[in-house]
């Protein structure tokens, strides 16, 4: 299995058919040894979802708890026009999605043109909110040649990209820190851009203390301009950030951030009424007494 450095230097072009078979759901993925073993090696601290009764179950059942609790095929997408977020959405289709501009929808007899009809169709947002007219002109010019789109396909736990559109697409490997030569997607070639098993292996090493940081997982696609290069992504006309949700959740879990995520905890507290405000005033008076070391009539004297 290639490591992350090999992926950054030599992105693997799959020999499989351009559009793979239907991705199995998580219950089928449990039988794949590599993924299950990777998740088995991860030992997070006890979480609320782990009920006490489950501890008495056999080892075979316990090792699948983590696998069944994370969304293996969800993708978070964010579209940015020169650093400003134009759209963000969650793709929950287990096969992936097609990013495109225009109004041409796929059909069963036009798979070679627009990809499988089973993919989630994600349309680029318009440019009406762009204030700079020069930026708007060039962005529209790129969107005008994105009718066929970019395919993001999930296959055997990995994420593949297939460029169909006339617009050139460049991408950066997760973890790329130094500006390197532009990394283009060859047209109508399936390229693996994220490996879940490689990510899990990196997370296991981080959990064991063998690496200082968890593995990166964000993938960036740049449309119509060289990428990566010396220009920051905030200066690019069109950037799409793709985040495998399973990687983000596991990273938060093992870096201790999950329990404090505002997305995962929604506190339910009523607006204060008159009695609540009275109690709050007494609490404030109590804090003032304690800060001034004043003993109230209810506080016993200590000889």
CA distances from 119 to 137, 149, 280 (A): 30, 12, 54
Q: What is the pLDDT of residue 23?
A: 41
Spell out the domains of the chain, with CATH numbers in brackets: 91-255 (2.60.200.10)
Q: Indicate whether this model's pTM tops 0.85.
A: no
Q: What is the pLDDT of residue 238?
A: 98
In the three-class reduction of DSSP (H, G, I as helix; E, B as strand; rest coil), residue 127 is classed as coil
Give CA–CA dist 153/160, Å, rounded: 5
Q: What is the pLDDT of residue 272?
A: 84
Residues near 69 by beta carbon (within 8 Å), at least 6 away in sequence: 49
Q: What is the DSSP letter of 258?
A: G
The candidate with the shortest Cα–Cα distance to 241, out of 215, 268, 214, 223, is 223
Residues near 239 by beta carbon (within 8 Å), at least 6 away in sequence: 79, 80, 220, 221, 222, 223, 233
Could you report how far apart the first and last alpha carbons of the chain are, in Å? Answer: 72
Q: What is the pLDDT of residue 265?
A: 56
Burial label for 69, CB within 10 Å (0-12, 13-18, 19+), is middle
φ, ψ of residue 277 to 5 degrees: the values are -65, -35
> Tens-digit pLDDT profile for the chain (303 aa)?
333 333 333 334 444 556 654 444 333 334 444 555 666 666 554 444 444 334 444 444 444 456 677 788 999 999 999 999 999 999 999 999 999 999 998 999 999 999 999 999 999 999 999 999 999 999 999 999 999 999 999 988 899 999 999 999 999 977 666 677 899 999 999 999 999 999 999 999 998 889 998 999 999 999 999 999 888 999 999 999 999 999 999 998 887 755 444 455 566 788 888 888 888 877 877 777 777 765 555 555 555
Q: What is the pLDDT of residue 14?
A: 44
């Amino acid at each position: 299995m290639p490591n992350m450095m090999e992926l950054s230097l030599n992105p693997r072009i799959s020999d499989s058919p351009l559009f793979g078979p239907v991705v199995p759901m998580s219950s089928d993925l449990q039988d794949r040894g590599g993924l299950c073993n990777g998740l088995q090696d991860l030992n997070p601290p006890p979480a609320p979802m782990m009920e006490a009764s489950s501890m008495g179950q056999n080892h075979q059942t316990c090792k699948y708890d983590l696998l069944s609790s994370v969304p293996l095929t969800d993708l978070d997408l964010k579209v940015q026009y020169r650093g400003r977020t134009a759209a963000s959405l969650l793709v929950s289709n287990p096969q992936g999605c097609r990013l495109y501009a225009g109004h041409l929808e796929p059909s069963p007899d036009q798979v070679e043109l627009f990809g499988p009809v089973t993919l989630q169709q994600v349309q680029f947002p318009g440019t009406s909110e762009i204030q700079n007219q020069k930026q708007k002109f060039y962005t529209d010019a790129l969107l005008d040649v994105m009718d066929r789109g970019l395919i993001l396909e999930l296959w055997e736990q990995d994420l593949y990209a297939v460029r169909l559109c006339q617009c050139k697409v460049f991408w950066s490997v997760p973890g790329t820190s130094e500006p390197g030569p532009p990394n283009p997607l060859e047209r109508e070639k399936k390229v693996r851009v994220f490996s879940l098993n490689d990510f899990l292996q990196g997370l296991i090493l981080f959990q064991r203390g063998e690496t200082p940081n968890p593995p990166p997982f964000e993938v960036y696609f740049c449309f119509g301009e060289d990428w990566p290069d010396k220009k920051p992504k905030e200066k690019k006309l069109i950037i799409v950030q793709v985040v495998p949700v399973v990687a983000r959740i596991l990273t938060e879990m093992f870096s201790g951030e999950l329990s404090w995520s505002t997305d995962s905890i929604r506190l339910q507290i009523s607006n204060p009424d008159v009695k609540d405000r009275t109690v709050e005033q007494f609490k404030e008076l109590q804090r003032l007494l304690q800060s001034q070391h004043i003993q109230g009539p209810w506080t016993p004297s200590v000889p």
